[in-house]
Amino acid sequence: MATTTSGIDRKPSISGSGAVRSSIRYSQQTEPSSPHTPRHSHHRSIVSFSQTSTSSPGSSFRNEEDAVIFEFGTRWLRAGFEGDSTPICMVGFGPEDSRKAGDYRGWVKLPGDGSAGARQRSMKAEEWTQRYELWRMDLRDVDLALVDDKIERAVREIYNKYLLTDAGNSRLVLVMPSIVPHPLLSSVLSTLFNRWRYPSITLLPSPTMATVAAGLRSALVVDLGWAETTVTGLYEYREIETKRSTRSMKLLMQEMGKFLTTLDEKRDQETDENDRISVGFDYCEEVVSRFAWCKLRDEPEPSPDTPRTPSSRMVSIPSPSNPSIYIEVPFSRFADQVDIALFAEGVSDWNLDDQEKPVDELVYRTLLALPPDVRGSCMSRIIFTGGGANIPGIRRRILQDVSALVRRYGWSSIRGRVIDEQRKKLQGLSINQQSHHAHAHRPPSSSSSVTIPDTFNTDADHIQQEELDFVEQKLRRTRKDLHGAPVHGVFRQVDTLGPWAGASLVASMKIRGLVEIEREKFLQHGLAGASRDSDTHVPDRRSGLRVGDRSSWTLAGWG
């Protein structure tokens, strides 16, 4: 009986072990060997559901570790999360955007505004545009405390109305121009670190991020911004040369405002104050966005004898003083303002300062300052960004004018009447030599024949073979098979998604920037704690060295 009982007792253990083995075998058979998405059991899904049900509603939609990206400009602040293709919001700094609760000055009718056609108070062009700017590069008349208050108000509005997350919990990425005054940069960083508890702030340059958003490594970035036009040559994500000019959208707005003021005042009286503007800023900005266009340099001027073209027709716009009345304006007059503001039409080159060069001359001088190999790569990858890049025809006009400058002067910075005369003589000699070679290569007659030794041809072929070794030939053949022949040495435009999209891509890939500023170190020393070495080694993510383990930090291009 004991034996039977022991045998009966052992049966469940054998069956249980068999069930365990079968379950293990079944699990091993069902699990694929290749990389795969792990399967979640029913019990695990219930547990995860119970955990997420007790958490906040926003945690299931947005990861708290996602970096917040701010793109600072002279007039706008764009914000959004990493991984997005476009920013969530764009906040301005105009008078209407800084209105407090209960401030109805924009809708209250003053006693002096009884007539429907009352003209606004005229003011100087610089004062007219200054009210809509966050900062200016000339800090002599800039109140940095007011800049801090504007930034704080804009950031609070972004978090409370658009991002809907707690400010200061996630990493912050700032996309800023590559040239920013140190007092202004210190003011921005101090405001963000003192008002909120950001663990670190990463600085990314706008030209490099525009290049990343275009899918390139080398490019010539032409930023037609508000305060200035910046042309930056990049090679392998590194800024090689940067040149700036004051011919930007701000100057275009001022020229258009003066033009509209002249049209409006012609109905009443003529004025001699050409530098004062009496039209509304929003009205002028609407006219620029709708009617501003750029014509080609070789386009003929419209005349009564020529047939009507789209540039010679008349357009109707509302009167600045009385919107119920429309004014007939030639469509070509709007293109004239673009030529005056951006291309210095009617102004001699020797009357312009270095910071007043037209856009085409600025692009040409930037390419001229680059090394020849970098120049060949950048001129085939020209990127246009900024608000001025949206003007119809301006990109084609810039490329056409730069090509004309290259044909006229070549890649030489020497100018002058004597140089032009020598260049014409050299062109005449080259034409004579070409005609002489054409006569020399005619088929010889039976009476005279010239034999060329084969040694010259063999020596030339031997020299050409020595210039390209087998390694270079293999690399070129592999590169051509994989990527095709690279475009080099021709003018070509490449579209981009913008600096903000490039920063979003870089942040989503968890690529560390060269300028990562920690909160504790900045609050202790400020910008004075930054190292002057712009080539500081950035540790790799796999090295195990975290951002907090760095002994020093650098401002890179901003230093």
- Lowest-confidence region among 137-151, 230-244, 382-396, 473-487: 473-487
Residue 9 domain-assigned? Answer: no
Give the pLDDT of residue 155.
95
In this predicted model, which residue has the larger pLDDT, 412 or 341? Answer: 341
Residue 289 domain-assigned? Answer: yes
Last residue of a domain, one of 495, 525, 546: 495
Give the pLDDT of residue 480.
65
Give the pLDDT of residue 189.
94
Q: Are residues 291 and 276 in the same domain?
A: yes
Distance, in Å, from the CA atom of 491 to the CA atom of 384, rounded to the nearest integer, reads 13
Give the pLDDT of residue 553.
66
Give the pLDDT of residue 371.
94
pLDDT higher than threshold 60 for residue 67: yes
- Domain count for the chain: 3
Q: What is the pLDDT of residues 324-370, one digit of tens each?
A: 889 899 999 999 999 999 999 888 888 888 899 999 999 999 999 99
Residue 21 domain-assigned? Answer: no
DSSP symbol at 333: H
Distance, in Å, from the CA atom of 235 to the CA atom of 376, rounded to the nearest integer, reads 11
pLDDT higher than threshold 90 for residue 17: no
pLDDT band at 273 (very low <50, low <70, confident <90, very high): low
Last residue of a domain, one of 468, 495, 522: 495
List, in sequence order, every residue forming a beta bridge with 314; answer none if it has no partner.
330
Give the pLDDT of residue 305.
59
pLDDT higher than threshold 70 for residue 271: no
Task: Report the chain's mean pLDDT, rounded to a whole number.
Answer: 78
Distance, in Å, from the CA atom of 183 to the CA atom of 528, rounded to the nearest integer, reads 11
User: Are the beta carbons of 175 and 204 closer than 8 angstroms?
Assistant: yes
pTM of the model: 0.76
pLDDT higher than threshold 80 for residue 70: yes
CA distances from 432 to 410, 426, 428, 429 (A): 21, 10, 6, 5
Distance, in Å, from the CA atom of 131 to the CA atom of 120, rounded to the nearest integer, reads 15
- Taking the alpha carbons at both ends of the chain, their separation in whole angstroms is 93
Q: Are residues 88 and 141 in the same domain?
A: yes
pLDDT band at 321 (very low <50, low <70, confident <90, very high): confident
pLDDT band at 121 (very low <50, low <70, confident <90, very high): confident
CATH of the domain at 72: 3.30.420.40
Range among 73-77, 430-434, 517-521 with highest mean pLDDT value: 73-77
Q: Are residues 144 and 275 in the same domain?
A: no
Q: What integer is the mean pLDDT of 57-70?
A: 66
Give the pLDDT of residue 5.
44
Placement of tokens 């365990």 in the chain = 20
Give the pLDDT of residue 319.
87
Residue 11 domain-assigned? Answer: no
pLDDT higher than threshold 90 for residue 45: no
pLDDT higher than threshold 60 for residue 498: yes
Q: Are residues 200 and 294 in the same domain?
A: no
Q: Are residues 141 and 263 in the same domain?
A: no
pLDDT higher than threshold 50 for residue 3: no
Report the SS3 class of residue 225: coil
Distance, in Å, from the CA atom of 334 to the CA atom of 163, rounded to the nearest integer, reads 39
Residue 123 domain-assigned? Answer: no
Range among 1-10, 49-58, 407-416, 444-453 with highest mean pLDDT value: 407-416
Residue 270 domain-assigned? Answer: yes
Q: What is the pLDDT of residues 199-222, one digit of tens each?
A: 899 999 999 999 999 999 999 999
Q: What integer is the mean pLDDT of 383-408?
A: 95
Residue 478 domain-assigned? Answer: no
Q: Are residues 337 and 321 in the same domain?
A: yes
Last residue of a domain, one of 470, 495, 520: 495
pLDDT band at 57 (very low <50, low <70, confident <90, very high): very low
Q: What integer is the mean pLDDT of 18-35?
A: 48
Give the pLDDT of residue 438.
62
In this predicted model, which residue has the larger pLDDT, 541 or 231? Answer: 231
CA distances from 160 to 55, 59, 89, 163, 206 (A): 20, 16, 12, 7, 26
* Residues spanned by the domain of 265: 248-300+309-342
Give the pLDDT of residue 144.
93
Q: Are residues 386 and 265 in the same domain?
A: no
Which has the closest alpha carbon to 132: 231, 277, 274, 261?
Answer: 277
Give the pLDDT of residue 62.
54
Q: Are residues 146 and 76 in the same domain?
A: yes
Q: What integer is the mean pLDDT of 187-196?
A: 94
Q: Are residues 321 and 255 in the same domain?
A: yes
Give the pLDDT of residue 112.
42
- Lowest-confidence region among 183-187, 349-353, 457-461: 457-461
Q: Are residues 364 and 323 in the same domain?
A: no
pLDDT higher than threshold 70 for residue 507: yes
pLDDT higher than threshold 90 for residue 252: yes
pLDDT band at 389 (very low <50, low <70, confident <90, very high): very high
pLDDT band at 533 (very low <50, low <70, confident <90, very high): low
User: Are the beta carbons of 220 and 363 closer than 8 angstroms?
Assistant: yes
Residue 180 domain-assigned? Answer: yes
- The percentage of residues in the chain with a pLDDT greater than 70, rounded to a whole number, is 69
Q: Are residues 256 and 319 in the same domain?
A: yes
Give the pLDDT of residue 304.
58
Distance, in Å, from the CA atom of 502 to the CA atom of 500, rounded to the nearest integer, reads 5
Give the pLDDT of residue 293.
95
Q: Are residues 149 and 268 in the same domain?
A: no
Give the pLDDT of residue 477.
73
pLDDT higher than threshold 50 for residue 322: yes
List, in sequence order, every beta strand (DSSP E) within 103-192: 123-124, 172-176
Give the pLDDT of residue 330.
92
Give the pLDDT of residue 283.
93
Give the pLDDT of residue 97.
75
Q: What integer is the mean pLDDT of 30-59?
A: 44
